[in-house]
Amino acid sequence: MSQLGKVYLVGSGPGDPDLLTVKALRLIRSADVVVYDRLVSAEILALIPEKTKRWSVGKAAGRHCVPQDQINPLLYDLAKRYPAIVRLKGGDPFIFGRGSEEAEFLGERRVAFEVVPGITAAAACTAYSGIPLTHRGMSRIIHIATGHFRDDEPLDLDWSALTGPESTLVVYMGLSNIERITDGLMRAGMPGETPAAAIQNGTTPDHYCLTSRVDRLASEVREAGMAAPVLLVFGEVVRLADVMGGWFLPAAPMPARVGEM
Examine the residue annotation and report whether 152 is marked as an active-site residue of this protein.
Answer: no
Where in 111-237 does DSSP place strands (E)? 113-116, 141-146, 167-172, 195-200, 208-213, 230-234
Could you tell me if 117 and 93 are in contact, meaning their C-beta atoms sit under 8 angstroms apart? yes
R_g of the chain, CA atoms, integer Å: 19
- Catalytic member of 16, 37, 89, 92: 37
CB atoms within 10 A of CB 216: 17
Helix (H, G, I), strand (E, B) or coil at 87: strand
Evaluated on CA atoms 22, 99, 158, 173, the torsion sign reads: positive
Could you tell me if 89 and 118 are in contact, meaning their C-beta atoms sit under 8 angstroms apart? yes
- Catalytic member of 32, 53, 59, 183: 59
Q: Pick the closest to residue 155 from 176, 138, 126, 131 (CA basis).
A: 176
CB atoms within 10 A of CB 232: 25
Helix (H) or strand (E) run with residue 25 in it = helix 22-30
Active-site residues, by number, are: 37, 59
